[in-house]
Amino acid sequence: MRLASRLFVGSVVLITVLVALVVALSGARLRRELEASEVAQLGREARLVVAAWTPTTNADSLADAAGAALGRRVTLIDSTGHVIGDSEFDGLALARLQNHAGRPEVIAAREHGIGTSRRASPSRGDEELYVAVRAPHGVARISMSTAQLAAIAARARTDVLLSGLISLGAALLLSAAFARRVSRPIVELRDVARALAEGDLARRPALSAVGEVGELGDAVHRMADQLAARLRALQGEEARLAAVIESLNEGVIAVDARRQVVRLNESGRRLLHITDAVPFSLDRLPRDAVLRHALTAALAGEPIAPVETVIDGRALSLTARPLDGGGAVVALFDLTATRRLEAMRRDFVANVSHELKTPLTVIGGFAETLVTDDLPPAQRAQFAEAIRANAERMRRIVDDLLDLSRIESGGWRPNPVVVDARLAADDVIAAVRRAGRDRGVTFEVQIDPQAATLYADPTAVRQVLTNLVDNAVRYTPVAGTVTVFTRPAPGGGTWLGVRDTGIGIAAEHLPRIFERFYRVDPARSREAGGTGLGLSIVRHLVEAHGGRVEAESTVGRGTTVSALFPAPIVTPS
């Protein structure tokens, strides 16, 4: 039931009970007041009769005259209790009336001067109200029927009841208006509170009331403002926290006490290859023993110090911490690049040591041999040439290492200008033409008219071409062909490349040929005189220009290595 209905019904019940009580109480009180008033009136009338009752007066005539004048029943009783006069009985009927000496009102009148009684009249058959007053010659009694009092009381009750009903109707109208007025602001406050609970923090109470309801409305208004402010603060904090977590390179996994993953940042998704939307079950995570053990221990309240594991080929450092109230958080740090760099560093140190050890061994051995004086001049010259060749090889390795270090450390910056591709190709081919002629290699230059120039550092272009052409000549058999070419890049820029008809490179080696000291066939490479650093230098020079290198090869049919030099960036004036 609505508040207004409850208030209205309560008011109806209360007012109805009050009206009923007023009617009942007023009727009883009115009857008593009427009876008391009539008793007093009857007493005064009886005293008038006593005053007129003398020894010489005919009692029955006096009773008849007084009864006619007063409109009452008047009875005169002598000292022995016999009725000697009655306004309603005469003659023989009067003589047959009972002795009244034992009547309560007569007894009281004789003892106290006045007496009253209400009882059924034996002679008239109805209830009568009697008042008796002591007289010198006996007792004068006046009576009246109580039906008259009842009629007066009934009319009074009717009037009171009618007035009560009219008052009840007016009170009901007022109660209905009051109930609506009281319930309307409370209903509005209820609707506003319900909207606030459902998240609509823009709702505000529009009521303007006085008293406690108005104070309640003001309190709800302030509460809504505070809730909105706190929610905005929490949302801002949540947004900042989410942004921080998403910007981390480390993967973050949050698990609640029900073993549900409730937060997983982008780095974590990338490291674990997960695309499911949170929340999802813990069982959807990779089934790695180290990861599962760390999560189980953290959920049990035990923190896990950083441990390493390998998931999907990635080396990960894993840390787990329990959360207050249940749950755990796991942090994943990708160590793959670090471990790869460490492996490359170890390989680099080993390769450099190996590359330098061989010529040093040759130089040391021949130098010890040259110390003796019994060598023939021709053999001595041969040994000296071997020492010179290996020293030159060491110099080239050191020079290439210095160039590579300078490029990688940023000590060298390209100074790009427009370079004529054909002139650069002709210069490089002229420098190696003799070596190519000795091997029977033919050189070709194929310059695309739409890619006749490139925007690059001229020295870098010549070094790139020199390394590529030198490699192509070294691994191209007799009667092979080495071609320098260009082609336009679809997105702008120029591809500069070298294509040969040499021995080719197996597919499994292609991804690593630009690493330092990486050789497809180490023995053949050393015999050909390479340092193992040329393609690595090419890659770093091209990347310093913002470009990239690509390699294509088929075993037995040749290799193509291309370098993209981007177009210059035009700044609007």
CATH code of 456's domain: 3.30.565.10
Q: Are residues 399 and 426 in the same domain?
A: no
Q: Are residues 360 and 323 in the same domain?
A: no
Q: Are residues 269 and 349 in the same domain?
A: no
Q: Are residues 23 and 145 in the same domain?
A: yes
- Mean predicted lDDT score pLDDT of the chain: 81
Domain stops at, among 119, 152, 185: 152
Q: Which residue has the tokens 């079950």?
A: 281
Q: Are residues 380 and 289 in the same domain?
A: no
Structural domain span for residue 277: 248-334
Within-domain flag for 237: no
| CATH code of the domain containing 317 | 3.30.450.20
Domain stops at, among 121, 152, 183: 152
Q: Are residues 435 and 504 in the same domain?
A: yes
Cα angle value 168/170/174 (rounded, 5°): 110
- Going by pLDDT thresholds of 50, 70 and 90, the confidence category of residue 253 is confident
Pick the closest to residue 359 from 402, 394, 400 (CA basis).
394
Q: Are residues 445 and 549 in the same domain?
A: yes
Among 108-112, 264-268, 552-556, name the one with the lowest average pLDDT.
Answer: 264-268
Quote the pTM value. Answer: 0.44
Residue pair 442/432 in contact (Cβ under 8 Å)? The answer is: no
| Mean predicted confidence (pLDDT) in 354-379 | 75
Model pLDDT, residue 3: 56
- Going by pLDDT thresholds of 50, 70 and 90, the confidence category of residue 551 is very high
Q: Report whether pLDDT(77) > 70.
A: yes
pLDDT, tens only, 315-336:
888 888 998 878 888 888 888 8
Domain stops at, among 270, 304, 334: 334
CA-based end-to-end distance of the chain: 77
- Going by pLDDT thresholds of 50, 70 and 90, the confidence category of residue 484 is very high
Within-domain flag for 88: yes
Pick the closest to residue 558 from 520, 477, 501 (CA basis).
501
Q: Are residues 379 and 448 in the same domain?
A: no
Within-domain flag for 471: yes
Q: Between residues 66 and 352, which one has the greater pLDDT?
A: 66
Q: Which of 383-387, 449-453, 512-516 has the highest mean pLDDT?
A: 449-453
Q: Are residues 561 and 418 in the same domain?
A: yes
Q: Are residues 493 and 533 in the same domain?
A: yes
Cβ neighbours of residue 130 under 8 Å, at least 6 residues apart?
Answer: 103, 105, 115, 116, 117, 118, 119, 141, 142, 143
Q: Report whether pLDDT(565) > 80.
A: yes
Q: Are residues 26 and 95 in the same domain?
A: yes
Pick the closest to residue 225 from 187, 196, 198, 194 (CA basis).
196
pLDDT, tens only, 529-546:
455 677 888 898 899 889
Within-domain flag for 223: no
Within-domain flag for 175: no
Within-domain flag for 79: yes
Within-domain flag for 573: no
Pick the closest to residue 356 from 385, 395, 388 (CA basis).
395
**Domains of the chain: total:** 4
| Reduced 3-state DSSP string for 421-452 | HHHHHHHHHHHHHHHHHHHCCEEEEECCHHHC
Among 183-187, 279-283, 466-470, name the one with the lowest average pLDDT.
Answer: 183-187
pLDDT, tens only, 411-465:
678 889 999 999 999 999 998 888 888 788 999 999 999 999 999 999 889 989 9
Q: Report whether pLDDT(230) > 80.
A: yes
Pick the closest to residue 456 from 359, 565, 332, 364 (CA basis).
565
Distance (Å, whole) CA 215 – CA 192: 15
Q: Are residues 393 and 507 in the same domain?
A: no
Within-domain flag for 128: yes
